[in-house]
Amino acid sequence: MRVAHITGAATFELRELELPAPGPQQVLLDIVGCGVCGSNLHDWHRPGGLSVAGAIGHEIVATVATIGTNVSGFAIGQPVTLDPSAIGGCQVCAACRDGAAWFCSNKQPVLTYGFAEQMLVPAHGLYKVPPSIDPRLGVLAEPIACGVHAIRHSWTARLDGRIDGVSMAVVGAGMLGLGAIMAARWLGAESVTAVARYEHQSAAARHCGATEVISSDAPDLSRLLRSRRPALVVEAVGGNASTMDLVTSAAAWRGEVVVLGSFTHPQNIDLGRLGAREVRLFVPVSYSARDGVQDFDVALQVLEAKGASLADLITHQFSLDEIDRAFATANDKSSRAIRVVVGGAQGDVNG
């Protein structure tokens, strides 16, 4: 089977890789699609430090191809998505037992990732795509899970992870911000003000549940956000953006700022401003469990509830052979892309 490797800045090479037959508690997957996220683009621009020599891709939907021994609950052809942290977790250390495999102290190697035709993974990292939706929408489970984690594990959330009645704002309306909007509304937010840069992002934010959308070019944006008195503000831009001053100034007294975006450069934060209003700061990473409930399980509930209405978020689809075009499209702001998906060549899902 073939796998895409980053071989240099903005350069992919398709390589042949022979995967072994699945062993005990393992499953061989045929990749149907993998979303191109911001962290993928960062690796594409500046390769190096990747977990597997140039192999990337973690927003995955696939079908079960072959099942190893001691695996139950899955059938051949079953559409699945996966928790990319869990598939590398040992399941033994304290972090894994706590449902937070991102912090596993004994991470296991994974032979390849989502921009490939197949993957060999442990069954414990798999989640069935809800049968009521188009299985292709499974690529959205991972970015929604990021938003779910940011909300459920915030200081603002109650012990059950809900934020009923909370007024909040989300700065950034790419897929990460849209996932946070959907998660916030599912978990009880009374209102969500979104800040979007492009018109197609504004429309998507409203569709995903934002009660108000403000253009990032609006005059005196900071004052506009402050006037909404959001108790919870999510930064979902990251990259090389200069949004930290905006989000830290927008949070209400004794409110909270959640930095969901992944920044490429160090950020300056006015601690005096935060301290004067006793604003809390939370920088989430990945996804985990709360009271035994995985963020991925909640994300799949959101996905099932929204169903076919989310199909328009997948704006572009390319074959694995076209991965260079896929990344160029995702990188091009004029393409009006929300989520670009690269599909494998081994099969398809038919629901």
Whether pTM > 0.95 for this model: the answer is no
CATH number at residue 213: 3.40.50.720
pLDDT, residue 349, reads: 42
In a domain, 351, yes or no: no
In a domain, 168, yes or no: yes
Asked if 256 and 304 sit in the same domain, the reply is no
Of 109, 142, 97, 119, which is closest to residue 298 (Cα–Cα)? 142
Q: 3-class DSSP state for residue 201?
A: helix
Asked if 213 and 311 sit in the same domain, the reply is no
In a domain, 334, yes or no: yes
**Amino acid letter, residue 205:** A
In a domain, 228, yes or no: yes
Of 266, 282, 298, the one marking the end of a domain is 282
Asked if 278 and 195 sit in the same domain, the reply is yes
Asked if 263 and 175 sit in the same domain, the reply is yes
Asked if 105 and 196 sit in the same domain, the reply is no
Of 236, 251, 282, the one marking the end of a domain is 282
**Amino acid letter, residue 342:** V
Q: Other CB atoms closer than 10 Å to residue 232's CB: what's the count?
A: 28
Asked if 49 and 107 sit in the same domain, the reply is yes
Of 32, 102, 151, which is closest to residue 285 (Cα–Cα)? 102
Asked if 209 and 300 sit in the same domain, the reply is no
In a domain, 60, yes or no: yes
Asked if 137 and 21 sit in the same domain, the reply is yes
pLDDT, residue 47, reads: 61
In a domain, 125, yes or no: yes
CA 217 vs CA 3, 197, 221: distances in Å: 41, 7, 7
Asked if 100 and 32 sit in the same domain, the reply is yes
Of 282, 302, 326, the one marking the end of a domain is 282
pLDDT, residue 14, reads: 92
pLDDT, residue 5, reads: 87
pLDDT string in tens for the chain (351-residue length): 999 988 878 888 899 999 999 999 999 999 999 999 988 988 888 765 444 445 689 999 999 999 999 999 999 999 999 999 999 999 999 999 999 999 999 998 888 889 999 999 999 999 999 999 999 999 999 999 999 999 999 999 999 999 999 999 999 999 999 999 999 999 999 999 999 999 999 999 999 999 999 999 999 999 999 999 999 999 999 988 899 999 999 999 999 999 999 888 899 899 998 999 999 999 999 899 998 899 999 999 999 999 999 999 999 999 999 999 999 999 998 999 999 999 954 433 443
Domain that holds residue 310: 2-142+288-343
pLDDT, residue 348, reads: 39
In a domain, 350, yes or no: no
Asked if 160 and 219 sit in the same domain, the reply is yes
CATH number at residue 305: 3.90.180.10
Asked if 219 and 171 sit in the same domain, the reply is yes
pLDDT, residue 278, reads: 96
Asked if 277 and 314 sit in the same domain, the reply is no
Contacts for 307 with CB less than 8 Å, ≥ 6 apart = 132, 133, 137
Whether 175 and 37 have beta carbons less than 8 Å apart is answered as yes
pLDDT, residue 344, reads: 56
Q: Where are the alpha helices (DSSP H) in the chain?
A: 38-45, 94-97, 141-152, 175-186, 199-208, 221-227, 244-250, 271-276, 295-306, 323-331
Whether 230 and 167 have beta carbons less than 8 Å apart is answered as yes
In a domain, 348, yes or no: no
Which phi and psi (to 5°) does residue 142 adopt?
-65, -50
* Counted domains in the chain: 2
